[in-house]
Structure 1
């Protein structure tokens, strides 16, 4: 992997700081309303309705909420895969079997306690839902900087519906990007689902 260009790295850090500060200031009522709207929009997409397997994640803090979405996916009979953060920041995957199948993990995360399926399990998902801080119309997404999801998205077959969950004001005209950044095909916000054209 090539070293990040210093200007791009600094730009990413500055944008991340602004976005994280804005998230910390969001009222909990807004976070809850956003979570319900996101679930409705995503469950209404053809891609999610047709999917047998959905890779998702457990939101933390003031991230756009996924708890209701995970339960509704499971209730709809979907196989839901959730990430397990490895020591090298790569992501393993395990099945979600409801809230009682989650346990506290490093970095304040909640992770599934079932058998690990391997880092390549994400390639079996029909839909991949990922966290992020922002996205642009070209599908570039800004994550938290660990590179976990760029590695995971590199294993996802071309043509898979990959969607970042954001707040409405986190859809930006552009985000700082580096060569290893993997684009997504869509963003879900409380206002709806936006499909990108790379």
Structure 2
């Protein structure tokens, strides 16, 4: 395991472990990741923009995707705006999420325009939402995470937005995280499903076979 999270991880799939323990551990880990992300220097994060754009563009070209789903990064996340600009330059359409009150995500085609969500205080795109199940039109999906383990199990932020959005998706899904947010295991519940791969500023790799 990389240095961010000492101690043994837990999962509800392990014998004898109570669901309440899993939920409590997820909450603890989210708080720990927030604390560690707050310590990251803005200059260090900015320096990741170009290599991240390179890694994401390579992933897009590998999958021959002309429409992808991604997200607008917050100041402490792995930066995505260089990638978004380069995608626009290459005429690759990128769907960006807008969080709705009912806990669902709607999707807007990236134009470079953005604002801050008034309640969640996260960046979101400006523009009309795409009709219907817009995510079904994406050929590749790139999602944020607090942590992701080597089998692809992702720890989100607890809102369930992506858990709901990814149900039934068959296109490749990759989690984008900082290098030290890839760990041996994260706590998971029986309904959790792994992503297909992980992207960090050092590149992308496929996950191990889930056990």
Q: TM-score, normalised by structure 2?
A: 0.84
What corresponds to 1:183 in structure 2? 194
Instruction: Please tell me whether the aligned partners of residues 42 and 48 of structure 1 are also in contact (alpha carbons under 8 angstroms).
Output: no
Instruction: Please tell me whether the aligned partners of residues 67 and 94 of structure 2 are also in contact (alpha carbons under 8 angstroms).
Output: yes
What corresponds to 2:75 in structure 1? 61
TM superposition outliers: structure 1 runs of 4+ over 6 Å: none
Query: Is 45-54 or 141-150 further displaced after alignment?
Result: 45-54
The one of 125, 128, 141 equivalent to 2:141 is 128
Where in structure 2 are there 5+ consecutive unaligned residues?
1-17
The one of 102, 127, 141 equivalent to 2:154 is 141
What corresponds to 1:110 in structure 2? 123
Instruction: Please tell me whether the aligned partners of residues 92 and 119 of structure 1 are also in contact (alpha carbons under 8 angstroms).
Output: no
Aligned mates of 1:129, 1:24 — CA distance in 2: 23
| Alpha-carbon shift at residue 72 of structure 1 (Å) | 0.8
Structure showing the higher helix proportion among its residues: 1
Instruction: Please tell me whether the aligned partners of residues 93 and 121 of structure 1 are also in contact (alpha carbons under 8 angstroms).
Output: yes
Q: 1:103 to 1:116 in 2, by over 3 A?
A: same
Aligned mates of 1:88, 1:82 — CA distance in 2: 18
1:167 and 2:164 aligned: no
Where in structure 1 are there 5+ consecutive unaligned residues?
none
Partner SS, residue 139 of structure 1: coil
- Give aligned pairs, total: 191
Query: Is 111-120 or 123-132 further displaced after alignment?
Result: 111-120
Deviations 1:98-155 (A, max 9, x none): 2xx2222231222222221246211110110111011111110011110001111114
Aligned mates of 2:75, 2:101 — CA distance in 1: 22
Aligned mates of 2:131, 2:157 — CA distance in 1: 23
Coordinate RMSD, CA, aligned = 1.7
Aligned mates of 1:72, 1:155 — CA distance in 2: 29
Aligned mates of 1:6, 1:137 — CA distance in 2: 24
| Alpha-carbon shift at residue 47 of structure 1 (Å) | 4.8
Aligned mates of 2:97, 2:134 — CA distance in 1: 10
Deviations 1:46-71 (A, max 9, x none): 65561110101101120111111111
Larger radius of gyration: 2
